[in-house]
Structure formats: structure tokens, C-alpha cells
Amino acid sequence: MNSCVFCAIIDGIVPACKVVESDNVVAFLDHRPLMPGHVLVVPRIHYAVLADLPADDVGPFFLTVQRLATAVEQAMKADGSFVAANIKISQSVPHLHLHVVPRRKGDGLFGKTFQWVRHPYPSEGAMRAAQAAIRDALGS
């Protein structure tokens, strides 16, 4: 039995605010974001790390990441974005995932050291508003 929380999200067992669903990729809001609009992008098939992702799937996966980086910036009215993957070390869920995080100048994410401080959404409504804004930006 697979106990991967991301696989459970993909299968609809665990609820999540999904922003993209395709044949190969699912993206959803991180429920404990670094910044509002922080999205996790995962392949539908369970691969533990980037090295496990088949070469034919790399392009489509990263095209989705690219689209989301642009959409997240637009939707969250950000100055830029941060895209990252933890591979094994600090990878809290052993299912390949990339973080797409909106950035603003002076947001404190990078100082003398990288600060991975989570800021939960203040309400379900705030999370749903971010989801809707990102979906709208993807459609434009």
C-alpha cells in the first residue's frame, strides 16, 4: 500500500486546492506556504526524486512548471518567483515535487541564509482566492 500523501492528493483521497491537472502532472497549493500562492508541482506517477523521472517526461513536467511560474507571478502580483526542488535532503514527501513560490522584493525569503518559514493561509477563503487567481492567470 502506498502511503504517499501526494499520491493520495492526485487520487482525490486527500483534498487539495488543485490549480493544474493534466495526464502527467498535478499542481496544487501548498497548505503551509512560504508565501500565499506557493504551488507544488508533482508528476502523476510516483517518482521519488528527479533522477527517477523518465527523460520523455522531463520536458512536459518542466513546461508545466514554467507556465505556473508565470501564472503565479501574475496572479499574486509578485515581482518574480522562486522555483526549487529538494532532492532527498529536506524532501519532506518522497514524491518528486517542485515548489513555485511568488517573490517580492524585501520579502525576507533570502537574507544571510535561506529562510524556509511557513506562513499558513489565514482562512480557507484566502486559499481559495489564491487558487482562483492562479487558475485565471493560467487561462489568460
* pTM passes above 0.85: yes
78 within domain boundaries:
yes
140 within domain boundaries:
no
101 within domain boundaries:
yes
Q: How many CB atoms lie within 10 A of CB 68?
A: 26
Cα–Cα distance for residue pair 55/95, rounded to 1 Å:
17
Residue 1 is predicted with a pLDDT of: 43
- Total tally of structural domains belonging to the chain: 1
User: What Cα–Cα distance (Å) separates residue 58 from each residue in 15, 43, 61, 95, 102?
Assistant: 26, 10, 5, 15, 23
pLDDT tens-digit series, residues 23-56? 999 999 999 999 999 999 999 999 999 999 999 9
DSSP collapsed to 3 states, the chain: CCCCHHHHHHCCCCCCCEEEECCCEEEEECCCCCCCCCEEEEECCCCCCHHHCCHHHHHHHHHHHHHHHHHHHHHCCCCEEEEECCCCCCCCCCCCCEEEEEECCCCCCECCCECCCCCCCCCHHHHHHHHHHHHHHHHC
139 within domain boundaries:
no
Cα–Cα distance for residue pair 77/7, rounded to 1 Å:
30
**Catalytic site positions:** 97
Q: How confident is the model at residue 108 (pLDDT cuts 50, 70, 90)?
A: confident
Inform me whether the pLDDT recorded for 115 exceeds 70.
no
The domain spanning residue 35 has which CATH number? 3.30.428.10
Percent residues over pLDDT 90 in the chain: 81
Residue 140 is predicted with a pLDDT of: 67
Inform me whether the pLDDT recorded for 123 exceeds 90.
yes
Residue 91 is predicted with a pLDDT of: 84
Q: What is the mean predicted confidence (pLDDT) over 94-116? A: 86
110 within domain boundaries:
yes
59 within domain boundaries:
yes
Q: How many CB atoms lie within 10 A of CB 129?
A: 15
98 within domain boundaries:
yes
Give the structural domain span for 104: 5-134
